[in-house]
A and B are shown apart, each in its own frame.
Chain A
């Protein structure tokens, strides 16, 4: 079994009509806008991080086609289990930019109440579960959710993201194995972006591809050009259709490239050649999609210029709005450990509040 890389849009922006997914023009432009917003957001947030206005940041630069395309191919009732580099998928689901920025700051407007470090957001209203730092843990969880949807006979598909590094974890094996055995309606999206922090893909597996691993679990495997949003949408739609028909799970390997550092704390110059980055920029997913839109006469340079400015303003407005919030109140630290405060938590909460009365935080240095 050898898997070929599925591609719809060539580097010149020309689509292969045989496999081009049907997408309304209006949606194509929305997708492009979301990719541009995601890219500008990354650039702006890295600046904010360098200015000390947020503590940490994870970019998804270069992977916008993968994260936005996969999420777009689902229905709103479907569930998404994120890794940590898919804010694009949350935005497709309707996650508000201002909530995203509040989460980065960890302020009182943060939907997760300042409990988690930046980029660990949750968007339940969009069936988008919680980001976790431990790698791969979301994979068996996504299988459990899909299994539940199957037991309840609901036509809901569950998609889960992870990087190629996660495929070395036991949870990857465990999750795909359960998915195969119970024929769960899952879509496993491996964002193969070449690196797990500094460690290259070749150090994660000797397998010729990630997608081929599907074979051993008795599920479908597909390898797509992850910088080609139409190929990503096509593969995800096909997988969702199979899952909804009861034909089981699919592992989709999206071959892409992490253009940025792993995180704001990382420096890729230490471990990868800079020309590798230049080569990858030629295959940039946004550039490719724009060529396609231009080729189809749906887009032009002056529209693009206007969009860049519009998106910039939208991000600046979200930051201004988010920064109006103060920190979450101290007493909220004890909420949501359990549904109700246990006696020890009640006691500890009272202690902290009393202590802060005796010694206000502003006085302690």
Chain B
């Protein structure tokens, strides 16, 4: 089985789906000749031509607005927003149009659009190349939101997303675009949207995360385990909408303790929703109050980004806290 990084796995998925389904078109800023600023669509223009791999004018609302029209007409557009920090000119098109078309048309129309966009910090990109705005999209009825953490999931989930009958915001953790490597099967396979992965089984504490933070959480979990620390179970949510509540609740019922880790700011971050659900559904199993390890309620800082992002030390301390409660 070939070893790939996230970029290679995503490129492979696009190639497979574009060969399989002639309705799939890519559009965005620099996605054609350049192959995307992160090279995810590299070489696709050569194979599929400029009608299917389209360099657009520089306008996010136009990219998403036209993608909606293409989808209504019967294509399967995969627009790219170069950084999720730049997605907001298209926010109205996403919130009121893309996500609502099926519902507001009484099911007459669907909008199968997969928006790919890099997300997260750790690349020395400052505020405008580092944000994690996922909860601003999770709150939108009618939009699926997913974030893979490794090449295998990235490929399988992107294939699922493009084949989905509904719009999907496909967030790609840019910090691990090249750093995360792994075995990726050749050819076609899918990873379902809405299923969490238990990456590590354990009995004392459940660690819930997604995206690039999964790697930091795994590092912390393994360090604790090799030092005779608590036995941790690690859950990679992979998909925020739909959410696999069942897997998370089953784990918390087993361990009785939970730490949620994400890069996004703390207040109303996705951890708030996760802990609310844990309180509603597993309160009597809890042996300690759930704890969040997150980014701060500040704009994303440039020089001090490593202070902002949760690290192994903060995660270990949070685990110690719930263990000693």
Are B108 and A111 interface neighbours, CB within 8 A?
A: yes
Distance A143 CA – B77 CA, assembled complex (angstroms): 14
Kindly specify which of B63-71, B198-206, B310-318 makes contact with the partner chain. Answer: B63-71
Q: Does residue A58 face the partner (Cβ distance < 8 Å to B)?
A: no
Are A343 and B243 interface neighbours, CB within 8 A?
A: yes
Q: Does residue B242 face the partner (Cβ distance < 8 Å to A)?
A: yes
List chain B positions with a Cβ less than 8 A from chain A.
Answer: 25, 51-52, 56-57, 59, 61-62, 64-75, 77, 89, 92-93, 96-97, 101-110, 141-142, 144, 164-166, 194, 241-246
Please give the distance in Å from B194's CB to the nearest CB on chain A. 7
Kindly specify which of A133-141, A204-212, A219-227, A275-283 makes contact with the partner chain. Answer: A133-141
Most buried by A among B70, B110, B243: B70
Distance A344 CA – B245 CA, assembled complex (angstroms): 9
> Across the interface, which residues of A come within 8 angstroms of B241, CB to CB?
342
Are B65 and A144 interface neighbours, CB within 8 A?
A: yes
Please, could you name 11 A-B residue pairs with CB atoms under 8 Å apart, sorted by A? A81-B69, A112-B106, A140-B69, A141-B65, A141-B68, A144-B77, A146-B69, A147-B70, A152-B75, A177-B59, A178-B62
> Across the interface, which residues of A come within 8 angstroms of B74, CB to CB?
148, 152
Are B104 and A116 interface neighbours, CB within 8 A?
A: yes
Residue from the list A115, A139, A140 in contact with B106, Cβ < 8 A: A115
Q: Does residue A246 face the partner (Cβ distance < 8 Å to B)?
A: no
Residue from the list A140, A152, A170 in contact with B66, Cβ < 8 A: A140
Distance A175 CA – B66 CA, assembled complex (angstroms): 8
Q: Does residue A339 face the partner (Cβ distance < 8 Å to B)?
A: yes
Distance A130 CA – B69 CA, assembled complex (angstroms): 11
Distance A93 CA – B175 CA, assembled complex (angstroms): 51
Please give the distance in Å from B164's CB to the nearest CB on chain A. 8
> Across the interface, which residues of A come within 8 angstroms of B89, CB to CB?
170
Residue from the list A137, A148, A338 in contact with B70, Cβ < 8 A: A148
> Across the interface, which residues of A come within 8 angstroms of B144, CB to CB?
338
Q: Does residue A292 face the partner (Cβ distance < 8 Å to B)?
A: no
Distance A186 CA – B72 CA, assembled complex (angstroms): 15
Distance A116 CA – B105 CA, assembled complex (angstroms): 9
Distance A112 CA – B75 CA, assembled complex (angstroms): 23
Known: A174-B59, A339-B166. A141 touches B66 (CB 8 A): yes
* Closest Cβ neighbor of A116 among chain B residues: B104
Distance A181 CA – B62 CA, assembled complex (angstroms): 12
Are A151 and B109 interface neighbours, CB within 8 A?
A: no
Are A338 and B109 interface neighbours, CB within 8 A?
A: no
Are A181 and B57 interface neighbours, CB within 8 A?
A: yes
Are B243 and A141 interface neighbours, CB within 8 A?
A: no
* Closest Cβ neighbor of B167 among chain A residues: A338
Chain A 330-347 interface mask (CB, 8 Å, partner B; 1/0):
000001111100111000
Residue from the list B77, B93, B105 in contact with A130, Cβ < 8 A: B105
> Across the interface, which residues of B come within 8 angstroms of A111, CB to CB?
106, 108
Q: Does residue A68 face the partner (Cβ distance < 8 Å to B)?
A: no
Distance A339 CA – B142 CA, assembled complex (angstroms): 10
Are A143 and B66 interface neighbours, CB within 8 A?
A: yes
List chain A positions with a Cβ less than 8 A from chain B.
Answer: 79, 81, 110-113, 115-116, 120, 122, 124, 129-130, 132, 134, 137, 139-149, 151-152, 158, 170-171, 174-175, 177-178, 181, 335-339, 342-344
Are A343 and B246 interface neighbours, CB within 8 A?
A: yes
Are A336 and B107 interface neighbours, CB within 8 A?
A: yes
* Closest Cβ neighbor of A333 among chain B residues: B103
> Across the interface, which residues of A come within 8 angstroms of B164, CB to CB?
339
Are B108 and A144 interface neighbours, CB within 8 A?
A: no
Are A124 and B65 interface neighbours, CB within 8 A?
A: no
> Across the interface, which residues of A come within 8 angstroms of B102, CB to CB?
336-339
Task: Enumerate the 10 nearest inter-chain pairs by beta-carbon distance, A residue then B residue, closest first.
Answer: A144-B69, A140-B65, A144-B66, A148-B73, A112-B106, A145-B69, A342-B242, A174-B62, A141-B69, A124-B108
Residue from the list A144, A152, A177 in contact with B68, Cβ < 8 A: A144
Please give the distance in Å from B143's CB to the nearest CB on chain A. 9
> Across the interface, which residues of B come within 8 angstroms of A171, CB to CB?
61, 65, 93
* Closest Cβ neighbor of A160 among chain B residues: B69
Residue from the list B65, B66, B96, B194 in contact with A342, Cβ < 8 A: B194
Most buried by B among A110, A147, A171, A343: A147
Known: A145-B73, A148-B74. A130 touches B109 (CB 8 A): yes
> Across the interface, which residues of B come within 8 angstroms of A134, CB to CB?
92, 96-97
Distance A40 CA – B75 CA, assembled complex (angstroms): 40
> Across the interface, which residues of A come within 8 angstroms of B108, CB to CB?
111-112, 122, 124, 130
Are B110 and A339 interface neighbours, CB within 8 A?
A: yes
Are B142 and A343 interface neighbours, CB within 8 A?
A: no
> Across the interface, which residues of B come within 8 angstroms of A146, CB to CB?
69
Please give the distance in Å from B193's CB to the nearest CB on chain A. 10
* Closest Cβ neighbor of B55 among chain A residues: A181
Distance A279 CA – B101 CA, assembled complex (angstroms): 41
> Across the interface, which residues of A come within 8 angstroms of B69, CB to CB?
81, 140-148, 158
Are A151 and B57 interface neighbours, CB within 8 A?
A: no
Distance A137 CA – B106 CA, assembled complex (angstroms): 19
Distance A335 CA – B25 CA, assembled complex (angstroms): 28
Are B97 and A337 interface neighbours, CB within 8 A?
A: no
Residue from the list B65, B104, B244 in contact with A174, Cβ < 8 A: B65
Are A151 and B61 interface neighbours, CB within 8 A?
A: no
* Closest Cβ neighbor of A142 among chain B residues: B69
Are A178 and B73 interface neighbours, CB within 8 A?
A: no
Are A120 and B72 interface neighbours, CB within 8 A?
A: no
Distance A335 CA – B164 CA, assembled complex (angstroms): 17
Residue from the list A81, A143, A178, A338 in contact with B142, Cβ < 8 A: A338
* Closest Cβ neighbor of A111 among chain B residues: B106
Please give the distance in Å from B237's CB to the nearest CB on chain A. 13
Residue from the list A112, A140, A152, A170 in contact with B105, Cβ < 8 A: A112
Residue from the list A110, A145, A158, A177 in contact with B57, Cβ < 8 A: A177
> Across the interface, which residues of B come within 8 angstroms of A143, CB to CB?
62, 65-66, 69
Distance A33 CA – B176 CA, assembled complex (angstroms): 64
